[in-house]
Structure 1
Amino acid sequence: MVLAWDQGYKQIACDIDCEELVTILDRTDQDLVLHHPQVLVLKEIMTLMARDWRVTVNWVHRDGNAAADWLAKYGHSLLDPGVHVIRQPENELQLLLLKDSLVVS
Protein backbone atom coordinates (compact mmCIF):
# COMPACT_ATOMS: atom_id res chain seq x y z
CA MET A 1 0.00 0.00 0.00
CA VAL A 2 2.86 2.37 0.75
CA LEU A 3 4.23 1.92 -2.76
CA ALA A 4 0.79 2.50 -4.33
CA TRP A 5 0.32 5.64 -2.21
CA ASP A 6 3.77 6.95 -3.08
CA GLN A 7 3.05 6.37 -6.78
CA GLY A 8 -0.09 8.52 -6.49
CA TYR A 9 -2.77 5.86 -6.84
CA LYS A 10 -6.13 6.94 -5.41
CA GLN A 11 -7.95 3.63 -5.75
CA ILE A 12 -6.50 0.15 -5.19
CA ALA A 13 -7.79 -3.37 -4.62
CA CYS A 14 -5.96 -5.83 -2.38
CA ASP A 15 -6.67 -9.51 -2.97
CA ILE A 16 -5.79 -11.48 0.15
CA ASP A 17 -6.01 -15.21 0.79
CA CYS A 18 -6.29 -14.77 4.57
CA GLU A 19 -10.00 -14.63 5.36
CA GLU A 20 -9.32 -13.62 8.98
CA LEU A 21 -7.40 -10.54 7.85
CA VAL A 22 -10.14 -9.48 5.45
CA THR A 23 -12.71 -9.81 8.25
CA ILE A 24 -10.60 -7.75 10.63
CA LEU A 25 -10.00 -4.99 8.07
CA ASP A 26 -13.63 -4.89 6.93
CA ARG A 27 -15.04 -4.65 10.45
CA THR A 28 -12.40 -2.28 11.80
CA ASP A 29 -13.23 -3.76 15.20
CA GLN A 30 -10.67 -2.08 17.48
CA ASP A 31 -11.17 -4.66 20.22
CA LEU A 32 -10.35 -7.46 17.78
CA VAL A 33 -7.27 -5.57 16.56
CA LEU A 34 -5.98 -4.75 20.05
CA HIS A 35 -5.98 -8.42 21.06
CA HIS A 36 -4.44 -9.75 17.84
CA PRO A 37 -0.82 -11.02 17.99
CA GLN A 38 0.05 -8.76 15.02
CA VAL A 39 -1.54 -5.62 16.50
CA LEU A 40 1.24 -3.27 15.31
CA VAL A 41 1.06 -4.49 11.72
CA LEU A 42 -2.74 -4.28 11.71
CA LYS A 43 -2.68 -0.73 13.07
CA GLU A 44 -0.22 0.28 10.36
CA ILE A 45 -2.41 -1.26 7.66
CA MET A 46 -5.52 0.45 9.04
CA THR A 47 -3.70 3.80 9.17
CA LEU A 48 -2.73 3.39 5.53
CA MET A 49 -6.30 2.46 4.59
CA ALA A 50 -7.65 5.57 6.36
CA ARG A 51 -5.75 7.94 4.07
CA ASP A 52 -7.56 9.97 1.42
CA TRP A 53 -8.02 7.17 -1.11
CA ARG A 54 -10.16 4.12 -1.76
CA VAL A 55 -8.83 0.73 -0.71
CA THR A 56 -10.92 -2.38 -1.17
CA VAL A 57 -9.88 -5.64 0.43
CA ASN A 58 -11.11 -8.86 -1.15
CA TRP A 59 -10.74 -12.43 -0.02
CA VAL A 60 -9.55 -14.78 -2.74
CA HIS A 61 -9.08 -18.51 -2.50
CA ARG A 62 -5.44 -19.53 -2.26
CA ASP A 63 -5.77 -21.31 -5.62
CA GLY A 64 -6.49 -17.92 -7.19
CA ASN A 65 -3.50 -16.26 -5.56
CA ALA A 66 -0.53 -18.30 -6.78
CA ALA A 67 1.33 -15.20 -8.00
CA ALA A 68 1.22 -13.69 -4.49
CA ASP A 69 2.59 -16.93 -3.06
CA TRP A 70 5.42 -16.87 -5.62
CA LEU A 71 6.20 -13.23 -4.77
CA ALA A 72 6.27 -13.97 -1.03
CA LYS A 73 8.72 -16.83 -1.53
CA TYR A 74 10.79 -14.70 -3.89
CA GLY A 75 10.89 -11.90 -1.31
CA HIS A 76 12.10 -14.30 1.38
CA SER A 77 14.91 -15.46 -0.91
CA LEU A 78 16.36 -11.95 -1.36
CA LEU A 79 19.41 -10.98 0.62
CA ASP A 80 18.54 -7.27 0.49
CA PRO A 81 15.35 -6.56 2.48
CA GLY A 82 13.09 -3.71 1.49
CA VAL A 83 10.95 -2.79 -1.46
CA HIS A 84 11.77 -4.39 -4.79
CA VAL A 85 9.88 -3.32 -7.90
CA ILE A 86 9.63 -5.97 -10.61
CA ARG A 87 9.32 -4.15 -13.91
CA GLN A 88 9.43 -7.27 -16.09
CA PRO A 89 8.11 -10.43 -14.39
CA GLU A 90 9.96 -13.68 -14.95
CA ASN A 91 8.22 -16.22 -17.21
CA GLU A 92 7.14 -18.32 -14.22
CA LEU A 93 5.45 -15.32 -12.59
CA GLN A 94 3.80 -14.30 -15.86
CA LEU A 95 2.24 -17.77 -16.15
CA LEU A 96 0.99 -17.62 -12.56
CA LEU A 97 -0.54 -14.18 -13.16
CA LEU A 98 -2.37 -15.56 -16.19
CA LYS A 99 -3.53 -18.63 -14.24
CA ASP A 100 -4.75 -16.45 -11.34
CA SER A 101 -6.70 -14.22 -13.71
CA LEU A 102 -8.56 -17.27 -15.06
CA VAL A 103 -9.62 -18.67 -11.66
CA VAL A 104 -13.27 -17.99 -10.92
CA SER A 105 -13.76 -16.77 -7.34
Structure 2
Amino acid sequence: MGTCTITAAELKGAIEGLRIAWDKGHMKVQLHLDSMTTISIMKTSEDDSHRHGFLSQQFRQLLNRNWGISISHVHRECNFAADYLAGKGHGATFGTHLFDVSDPGLNRWITYDVMGIAQTRSISYVN
Protein backbone atom coordinates (compact mmCIF):
# COMPACT_ATOMS: atom_id res chain seq x y z
CA MET A 1 0.00 0.00 0.00
CA GLY A 2 2.99 2.30 0.28
CA THR A 3 3.43 4.76 3.11
CA CYS A 4 0.11 5.93 4.57
CA THR A 5 -1.99 5.93 7.71
CA ILE A 6 -3.41 2.69 9.08
CA THR A 7 -6.91 3.87 8.17
CA ALA A 8 -5.89 4.66 4.60
CA ALA A 9 -4.24 1.24 4.31
CA GLU A 10 -7.44 -0.45 5.54
CA LEU A 11 -9.55 1.56 3.09
CA LYS A 12 -7.17 0.84 0.20
CA GLY A 13 -7.14 -2.87 1.06
CA ALA A 14 -10.93 -3.05 1.22
CA ILE A 15 -11.27 -1.21 -2.09
CA GLU A 16 -8.72 -3.46 -3.80
CA GLY A 17 -10.36 -6.57 -2.35
CA LEU A 18 -13.79 -5.49 -3.55
CA ARG A 19 -12.44 -4.71 -7.02
CA ILE A 20 -10.93 -8.19 -7.21
CA ALA A 21 -14.19 -9.78 -6.01
CA TRP A 22 -16.15 -7.82 -8.65
CA ASP A 23 -13.71 -8.76 -11.41
CA LYS A 24 -14.01 -12.43 -10.43
CA GLY A 25 -17.82 -12.21 -10.64
CA HIS A 26 -18.66 -12.55 -6.94
CA MET A 27 -22.09 -10.98 -6.43
CA LYS A 28 -22.40 -11.42 -2.65
CA VAL A 29 -19.46 -10.34 -0.54
CA GLN A 30 -18.88 -10.21 3.19
CA LEU A 31 -16.30 -7.60 4.15
CA HIS A 32 -14.92 -8.11 7.66
CA LEU A 33 -12.73 -5.34 9.07
CA ASP A 34 -11.11 -4.94 12.45
CA SER A 35 -11.12 -1.13 12.36
CA MET A 36 -14.28 0.60 13.55
CA THR A 37 -12.82 3.89 12.27
CA THR A 38 -12.58 2.49 8.75
CA ILE A 39 -16.09 1.04 8.92
CA SER A 40 -17.46 4.37 10.13
CA ILE A 41 -15.81 6.21 7.24
CA MET A 42 -17.15 3.64 4.76
CA LYS A 43 -20.70 3.74 6.05
CA THR A 44 -21.17 7.41 6.87
CA SER A 45 -18.60 9.60 5.15
CA GLU A 46 -20.23 11.69 2.45
CA ASP A 47 -17.78 14.55 2.88
CA ASP A 48 -15.19 14.14 0.14
CA SER A 49 -13.08 16.94 1.68
CA HIS A 50 -12.44 14.58 4.61
CA ARG A 51 -8.86 13.36 5.01
CA HIS A 52 -9.86 10.03 3.44
CA GLY A 53 -12.58 11.51 1.22
CA PHE A 54 -11.12 10.26 -2.06
CA LEU A 55 -10.90 6.68 -0.76
CA SER A 56 -14.37 6.95 0.75
CA GLN A 57 -15.70 8.09 -2.63
CA GLN A 58 -14.04 5.11 -4.37
CA PHE A 59 -15.57 2.76 -1.81
CA ARG A 60 -19.06 4.25 -2.28
CA GLN A 61 -18.75 3.81 -6.05
CA LEU A 62 -18.01 0.12 -5.54
CA LEU A 63 -20.78 -0.23 -2.99
CA ASN A 64 -23.33 1.26 -5.43
CA ARG A 65 -22.76 -1.44 -8.03
CA ASN A 66 -25.42 -4.10 -8.54
CA TRP A 67 -24.25 -6.61 -5.94
CA GLY A 68 -24.64 -7.40 -2.27
CA ILE A 69 -21.96 -6.32 0.18
CA SER A 70 -22.25 -6.69 3.92
CA ILE A 71 -19.72 -4.89 6.10
CA SER A 72 -19.07 -6.02 9.63
CA HIS A 73 -16.59 -5.53 12.42
CA VAL A 74 -14.45 -8.41 13.63
CA HIS A 75 -12.25 -8.07 16.69
CA ARG A 76 -8.52 -8.05 16.00
CA GLU A 77 -8.09 -11.06 18.27
CA CYS A 78 -10.29 -13.07 15.89
CA ASN A 79 -8.70 -11.84 12.67
CA PHE A 80 -5.36 -13.59 12.67
CA ALA A 81 -5.57 -14.77 9.05
CA ALA A 82 -5.44 -11.13 7.94
CA ASP A 83 -2.50 -10.46 10.26
CA TYR A 84 -0.67 -13.50 8.92
CA LEU A 85 -1.08 -12.32 5.32
CA ALA A 86 -0.09 -8.76 6.25
CA GLY A 87 3.09 -10.13 7.79
CA LYS A 88 3.84 -12.07 4.60
CA GLY A 89 3.33 -8.85 2.65
CA HIS A 90 6.14 -7.09 4.49
CA GLY A 91 8.66 -9.26 2.69
CA ALA A 92 6.95 -9.11 -0.71
CA THR A 93 7.47 -6.75 -3.61
CA PHE A 94 5.25 -3.66 -3.82
CA GLY A 95 1.80 -4.28 -5.33
CA THR A 96 -1.16 -6.63 -5.07
CA HIS A 97 -0.47 -10.34 -4.74
CA LEU A 98 -3.12 -13.00 -5.40
CA PHE A 99 -2.60 -16.59 -4.29
CA ASP A 100 -4.04 -19.51 -6.27
CA VAL A 101 -3.15 -21.94 -3.50
CA SER A 102 -3.50 -21.29 0.21
CA ASP A 103 -0.26 -20.88 2.13
CA PRO A 104 0.01 -23.89 4.49
CA GLY A 105 0.76 -21.56 7.40
CA LEU A 106 -2.50 -19.71 6.79
CA ASN A 107 -4.78 -22.74 7.19
CA ARG A 108 -4.51 -22.84 10.99
CA TRP A 109 -5.39 -19.12 11.30
CA ILE A 110 -8.38 -19.44 8.97
CA THR A 111 -9.66 -22.36 11.05
CA TYR A 112 -9.27 -20.36 14.27
CA ASP A 113 -10.96 -17.30 12.76
CA VAL A 114 -13.92 -19.32 11.43
CA MET A 115 -14.35 -21.07 14.78
CA GLY A 116 -14.10 -17.76 16.64
CA ILE A 117 -11.10 -18.86 18.67
CA ALA A 118 -9.33 -15.74 19.94
CA GLN A 119 -5.58 -15.63 20.30
CA THR A 120 -3.62 -13.42 22.66
CA ARG A 121 -1.41 -10.80 21.03
CA SER A 122 1.93 -9.72 22.38
CA ILE A 123 3.45 -6.41 21.45
CA SER A 124 6.84 -5.02 22.32
CA TYR A 125 6.97 -1.90 24.43
CA VAL A 126 9.95 0.37 24.01
CA ASN A 127 10.45 3.04 26.63
Q: How high is the TM-score relative to the length of structure 1? A: 0.83
Q: Which residue of structure 2 lines up, in the alignment, with residue 81 of structure 1?
A: 95
Q: Which residue of structure 1 lines up, in the alignment, with residue 76 of structure 2?
A: 62
What does 1:16-95 align with in structure 2 at a 5 Å threshold?
16-27=33-44, 29-31=45-47, 34-35=49-50, 37-82=51-96, 84-95=97-108
C-alpha RMSD over aligned residues: 1.9
Q: Which runs of 5+ in 1 are unaligned?
A: none
Q: Which has the higher contact order (CA 8 A, sep 6+)?
A: 1
Q: Does 1:5 align with 2:22?
A: yes
Q: How many residue pairs were aligned?
A: 101
Of Structure 1 and Structure 2, the greater helix share is in: 1
TM superposition outliers: structure 1 runs of 4+ over 3 Å: none
Q: Does 1:96 align with 2:109?
A: yes
Q: 1:56 to 1:78 in 2, by over 3 A?
A: same
Q: 1:66 to 1:104 in 2, by over 3 A?
A: closer
Q: 1:39 to 1:59 in 2, by over 3 A?
A: same
Distance 1:49 1:11 in 2: 11
Decide which moves more: 58-67 or 71-80. Answer: 71-80
Secondary structure of the residue aligned to 2:90 is helix
Distance 2:72 2:112 in 1: 18
Opposite residue 50 of structure 1, the aligned amino acid is N
How far residue 104 of structure 1 moved from its aligned partner, in angstroms, is: 6.5
